Amino acid sequence: MSVLSPAPHPVLPRHASRPAPRPATAPGDLPSQADLRRFEELLAALPLTPAVVVDLPGRRLVVDGADVDLTRQEFDLVAYLARSAGRVVTRDELYAGAWRSQDLSEGTRTVDVHVRRVRAKSGLDGLITTVRGVGYRLNALDGLRLDG
């Protein structure tokens, strides 16, 4: 009866040429105050890209650099809210402004459905806030830019 021995495992060399890691607090590892000031100046000089861009002439909504595919009516809704950013807009005002009509029947959920779709497509639930019993507000975020 023969005993099978397992196949030998290859021996991996230790990387003797690689130096051992130094502690993070070793002298020379921490930036100087001058380095920090230069970094802050460079950072302040960088152009900030807004998280949300409403491009009125191009009829585009851009979120984090990506175009959001909106229908004509969804874009009209976003554009109207963007022009009134930070202010509560009533449903009646949205009907008159974004739909250019007040013929929609009382109690219709048209605006609510379109707002829900814009929220889902943009991925930004906090962009449009529902003000219960009144209407909607597009939050004037630091990263919001209105072009046009």
141 in a domain, yes or no? Answer: yes
Cα 73 to Cα 111: distance, rounded to the nearest angstrom: 10
- CA 42 – CA 36 distance, rounded (Å): 10
Residue 126 counted as domain residue: yes
Question: In this predicted model, what pLDDT tens digit does every residue of 83-130 receive, in sequence order?
Answer: 998 899 998 888 888 887 656 656 678 889 999 999 999 887 788 899
Report yes or no on 16 lying in a domain: no
Domain of 60 in residue numbering reads as 52-147
pLDDT of residue 50: 58
pLDDT at 17: 62
**pLDDT value of residue 59:** 94
Residue 29 falls inside a structural domain: no
The total number of structural domains in the chain stands at 1
Q: Which tokens in the block code for residue 56?
A: 């009125």
**Using an 8 Å Cβ cutoff, are 63 and 124 in contact?**
yes
Q: Whole-angstrom Cα distance, residue 145 to residue 26?
A: 45
User: Is 6 contained in some domain?
Assistant: no
pLDDT at 69: 94
pLDDT of residue 42: 83
**82 inside domain:** yes
What pLDDT digit, counting tens, does each position of 13-43 carry?
555 566 666 665 666 667 788 888 888 888 7
Amino acid letter at 76?
Answer: D
Claim: this prediction has a pTM higher than 0.85: no
User: Is 111 a domain residue?
Assistant: yes
- pLDDT on residue 137: 92
CATH number of the domain that residue 100 is part of: 1.10.10.10
How many other C-beta atoms are found inside a 10 Å radius of the C-beta of residue 147?
13
Cα gap 104→101, rounded to integer Å: 7
Task: Write down the pLDDT at residue 33.
Answer: 86
Q: Does any domain span residue 30?
A: no
pLDDT tens per residue, range 49-73: 558 889 999 999 998 888 999 999 9
Phi/psi at 104 (nearest 5 deg)?
Answer: -70, 140
